[in-house]
């Protein structure tokens, strides 16, 4: 069975697999299984481990652009945005379908 490792005492075989996981070093068990896999499956396992890590890592809160630019003292009006947009699109080719 996969959980029987050389480092476990012979008496460990009487435990259920759940208790064995608590007894043995999980890191060693994962490494042992990893080494038995082909390289493409090792990469898949690494990708999954990274997914689990990111899933359990607290995410930093996002800041709004308005909040990020608040200290720059930029005051852009809607009229300026409209004017700039019209200038940008003025020379855009119209024959593109």
Parse the chain into domains and list their residue ranges. 10-56
User: Per-residue confidence of the chain (97 residues) as pLDDT tens digits?
Assistant: 444 444 555 555 555 666 665 556 888 888 999 999 999 999 999 999 999 999 988 888 777 776 776 777 777 889 999 999 999 888 888 777 5
38 vs 49: CA distance, rounded Å: 17
pTM attached to this predicted model: 0.40
């Amino acid at each position: 069975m996969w959980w029987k490792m050389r480092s476990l005492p012979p008496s460990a075989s009487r435990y259920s697999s759940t208790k064995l996981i608590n007894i043995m070093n999980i890191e060693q068990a994962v490494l042992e299984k990893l080494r038995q896999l082909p390289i493409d499956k090792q990469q898949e396992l690494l990708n999954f481990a990274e997914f689990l890590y990111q899933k359990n890592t607290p995410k930093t809160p996002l800041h709004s652009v308005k909040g990020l630019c608040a200290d720059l003292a930029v005051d852009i009006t809607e009229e300026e945005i409209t004017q700039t947009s019209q200038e940008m699109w003025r020379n855009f080719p119209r024959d593109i379908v």
